[in-house]
Amino acid sequence: MKILVFMGRGGTGKTSFTALAARYLIERGVSPILLVDADPDQNLGEMLGVDLEAEDKKTISDLLVETFLKEGGTTYGVPPVERIESRIWERGLYEGDEFDFLAIGTKWLDGCYCLPNAALKEALGKMSKIYRYVLIDSPAGLEHLNRRITSTIDDVFDLIDPSSKSAAHVARAYRVIREVGIKFRNFYIVGGYRFTDRFEKIMVDRLIEGVRYVGRFTYDPTLEEFVLAGRPLFELPEDSPAYRSVREIMSLTGHPS
C-alpha cells in the first residue's frame, strides 16, 4: 500500500494533478484506489466526476453536524471519532468501479478542523490497509500537517508556483513534516502550470537539500475549459499536455510500483 500526498499553495494546479495522477494509476490497472479530499474547498470530487449529494453520501464534516448537532448527540463518553466511524464507512465512503472517494468537507463549526481531521485520521488508519494506493489532496495551508491526518507517507508531491513564497512554503512544509514526526520516503517538487524554463531554473536553484524537483505540470487550455465547465478530468484527451506531464512525473517517481 502506498500513500501519496499532494500539497501546495492555491492556484498551482494541485487538485487537477491529483485527479490526473489517479487516472494514470487506474489506466495502468492499479486497484483498489482510495482518493481523499482533505481540502475544505472540495474540488476533487468534481474533477473526478463524483457528486456526493447525488450518490446520497456525506462528507465527514456533514456527518459530524448530523450526529452531534441535528440529532442531539454528545461529545462526552465514547470519543466522537469512534461514534461516527461506522457512519463514515456506510454513508461517507463513495465506492466506484475504478476508485473509492472520501471528503472531509467544509468546516462544521466555528474554530479549527480538529474534530473532522481526527475523524479522518481514524478512518484512514483502518481504510488505507485495504487499498493499493491512497491519494490525499491536502489543503493549501500547513496546519493539517500538525494534526497528522496520516503519520506515514510514501511520497509528498508539493506543487509550487514561480514565487519566493513558494520556495519558502517548501522549506516550511519540509521542516514541519519532520518536526511533527511524519515518516516519509520522498519529498518531490512539481512546478505549477505557470512555470517557464527561466522560472524553472531560478526556483530549482533555490530548493533546499532533501527535496527533489521532478518536472512541471504543463499548462493546458483544454484542462482549464474542463475545470470551468465542471467536467471530470478523466475525460481529458489522452494527448493533453497536462496529462502527458503527469504521466511523465508519475513514471519518473516510480509509480505504479
* CA-based end-to-end distance of the chain: 10
Contact call for residues 192 and 8 (beta carbons, < 8 A): yes
> What confidence score (pLDDT) does residue 34 get?
96
The Cα 248–Cα 252 span in angstroms is 6
Q: pLDDT tens-digit profile of 167-183?
A: 888 888 899 888 888 89
The larger pLDDT score, comparing residue 83 to residue 151, is at 151
The larger pLDDT score, comparing residue 257 to residue 51, is at 51
Contact call for residues 235 and 226 (beta carbons, < 8 A): yes
Region of 69 on the Ramachandran plot (φ > 0 left; ψ -120 to 50 alpha; else beta)? alpha
> What confidence score (pLDDT) does residue 94 get?
97
The larger pLDDT score, comparing residue 138 to residue 78, is at 138
Q: What percent of the chain has pLDDT over 90?
A: 51
> What confidence score (pLDDT) does residue 20 get?
98
Q: pLDDT tens-digit profile of 77-129?
A: 556 667 788 888 899 999 999 999 999 887 655 555 677 787 888 888 888 88
Q: pLDDT tens-digit profile of 198-251?
A: 888 888 888 889 999 999 999 999 999 999 999 999 999 999 999 999 999 999
Give the CA angle between residues 114, 7, 185 to the nearest 5°.
100
Q: Which amino acid is at 176?
A: V
- Provide CB contacts within 8 A for 129, sequence distance 6+: 1
As to burial, measured by CB atoms within 10 angstroms (0-12 exposed, 13-18 middle, 19+ buried), residue 199 is middle
Residue 32: pLDDT above 90? yes
Give the CA angle between residues 222, 241, 190 to the nearest 5°.
110
> What confidence score (pLDDT) does residue 228 get?
94
Mean pLDDT of 12-41: 94
> What confidence score (pLDDT) does residue 112 get?
55
Task: Tell me the pTM.
Answer: 0.91
Delimit the domains of the chain by residue range. Answer: 2-252
The larger pLDDT score, comparing residue 211 to residue 150, is at 211
> What confidence score (pLDDT) does residue 3 get?
93
Average pLDDT, the chain: 87
Look at residue 254 and give its three-state secondary structure.
coil
Cell of 181: 514526526
The CATH architecture assigned to 2-252 reads 3-Layer(aba) Sandwich (3.40)
Identify the weakest region by mean pLDDT among 5-14, 65-74, 157-166, 205-214.
65-74
